[in-house]
Amino acid sequence: MAAQPKRGGVSLPERRSASKPESNILARITSSPIVSRGKQAASDASFVSKKLIRSTGKAAWIAGTTFLILVVPLIIEMDREQQFIEHELQQASLLGAPPTAPASK
């Protein structure tokens, strides 16, 4: 039985009775509040990491499609322009005109 706490005193835990089997160390550890806090922290970390992975995947998808829609056509057009300039210079050299340097921007 637990002793009644007195004013300003400390209550003592109940005494183990002879009929109650001794709990093993594993059961005492798994029922520990530190272990339950650790399990809760691991669960929270798992939840946050799953959300982060999902949102990172969405951001990567948005960045990739934006790149394909905006940047790839620009690169293609710049390449076409460069080929056109090289073709003009080649035509001019074949026709005998003095070679001119390409205009710098």
What pLDDT is attached to residue 26? 76
To which residue do tokens 């990567």 refer? 60
Give the pLDDT confidence of 30-71 residue by residue, as tens digits.
Answer: 788 888 899 899 999 999 999 988 889 899 999 999 999 999
In the structure, what pLDDT confidence band is assigned to residue 77 with cuts at 50, 70 and 90? very high
Mean pLDDT of 19-30: 67
b/e per residue 78-94 (b: at least 16 CB within 10 A): eeeeeeeeeeeeeeeee
Alpha helices in the chain (DSSP H): 25-30, 33-66, 72-94
Mean pLDDT of 68-91: 94
Q: How far apart are CA 36 and CA 41, in angstroms?
A: 9
What's this model's pTM, rounded to 2 decimal places? 0.41
